[in-house]
């Protein structure tokens, strides 16, 4: 094994990615599959989940574990389904999320609850449920990894009226810091990715109405992020190179 493989490789690791059938989750999943990890993806739509896993399996190992993580039953089912395949979990990527936009005077309570149930509550209780499997994978020099997907809009005032979404992502950022402090003694790291402007379903309307050049003009590097940017960041955090980074 080369030095680069030792430092940045993730081959043989078990990885679970929620929201893994499209967008950022799919990009991260493909990166891990191509790097030789055993990858499991979860998404609410079973057909989409299975189709994405079948496509990714052309490049390596990927298994579909469909489920609705917005409910306690769905989360427990995912933990049971994953446990039928693996006895430990090296990397948990919490990427599944919901968005709700509406003017402040019209913002519905059920929309707020839907966003927080998936974006915050599901993240915490999945980590709680998978904790024994993360502990089983963890060691001092190769910790188990938690990667939560946040947002740059957790750190700035957003353009659109997405009150629950930005609040939930800010909560994810702080939750991740809190987890990092508490789980370090168990050799589990917790980090958050705050993707910039990514050409996902959430950004599609802006790109369609304003044009990609106008949208990307807000980014210091002058371009939208892409699949390799997302995969690269997750692979780094999960490799030996990222093993001393938490919080």
Q: Do 93 and 15 form a contact (C-beta atoms < 8 A)?
A: yes
Enter the pTM of the model: 0.94
Which has the higher per-residue pLDDT, 196 or 2? Answer: 2
For tokens 């210091």, the residue is 220
Residue 6 CA to residue 3 CA, distance in Å, equals 5
Q: How many helices (H) and strands (E) does the chain have?
A: 10, 6
Phi, psi angle pair for 55, to nearest 5°: -65, -45
- What pLDDT digit, counting tens, does each position of 115-130 carry? 999 999 999 999 999 9
pLDDT for 207 equals 64
- What pLDDT digit, counting tens, does each position of 200-245 carry? 666 666 667 767 776 666 778 878 878 899 999 999 999 999 999 9
- What pLDDT digit, counting tens, does each position of 11-29 carry? 999 999 999 999 999 999 9
pLDDT for 159 equals 82
Residue 103 CA to residue 132 CA, distance in Å, equals 42
- Residues catalogued as catalytic: 165
Q: How confident is the model at residue 139 (pLDDT cuts 50, 70, 90)?
A: very high
Average of per-residue pLDDT across 53-76 = 97
pLDDT for 98 equals 95
Tokens of 201: 């379903």
Q: Comparing C-alpha atoms, which of 74, 193, 192, 179 is closest to residue 128?
A: 179
Alpha-helical regions (H) of the chain: 3-8, 23-34, 46-56, 72-83, 109-116, 122-137, 163-183, 204-210, 212-216, 227-238
Which has the higher per-residue pLDDT, 32 or 204? Answer: 32
Pairing of strands 61-64, 38-42: parallel
Q: Do 168 and 119 form a contact (C-beta atoms < 8 A)?
A: yes
pLDDT for 233 equals 97
pLDDT above 70 covers a percentage of the chain that reads 94
Q: Comparing C-alpha atoms, which of 225, 196, 237 is closest to residue 15?
A: 237
Residue 111 CA to residue 134 CA, distance in Å, equals 32
- Other beta carbons within 10 angstroms of residue 113's beta carbon come to 14
pLDDT for 7 equals 96
Residue 226 CA to residue 72 CA, distance in Å, equals 32
pLDDT for 237 equals 98
pLDDT for 196 equals 78
pLDDT at 187 over 80: yes
> At 39, is the secondary structure helix, strand, or coil?
strand
Q: Do 164 and 101 form a contact (C-beta atoms < 8 A)?
A: no
């Amino acid at each position: 094994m080369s030095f680069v493989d030792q430092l940045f490789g993730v081959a043989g690791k078990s990885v679970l990615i929620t929201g893994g059938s499209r967008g950022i989750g799919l990009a991260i999943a493909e990166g891990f599959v191509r790097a030789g990890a055993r990858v499991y993806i979860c998404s609410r739509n079973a057909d989409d989940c299975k189709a994405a896993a079948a496509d990714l399996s052309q490049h390596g190992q990927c298994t579909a574990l469909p489920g609705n993580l917005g409910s306690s039953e769905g989360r427990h089912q995912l933990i049971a389904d994953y446990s039928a395949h693996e006895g430990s979990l090296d990397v948990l990527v919490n990427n599944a999320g919901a968005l709700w936009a509406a003017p402040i005077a019209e913002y519905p309570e059920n929309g707020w609850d839907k966003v927080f149930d998936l974006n915050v509550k599901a993240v915490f209780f999945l980590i709680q449920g998978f904790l024994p499997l993360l502990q089983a994978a963890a060691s001092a020099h190769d910790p188990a990894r938690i990667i939560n997907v946040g947002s740059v809009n957790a750190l700035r005032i957003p353009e659109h009226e997405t009150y629950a979404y930005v609040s939930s992502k800010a909560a994810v950022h702080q939750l991740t810091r809190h987890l990092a402090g508490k789980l370090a003694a168990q050799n589990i790291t917790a980090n958050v990715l705050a993707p910039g402007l990514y050409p996902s379903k959430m950004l599609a309307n802006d790109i369609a109405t304003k044009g990609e050049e106008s949208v990307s003009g807000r980014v210091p590097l002058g371009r939208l992020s892409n699949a390799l940017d997302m995969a690269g960041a997750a692979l780094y955090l999960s490799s030996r190179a990222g093993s001393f980074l938490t919080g």
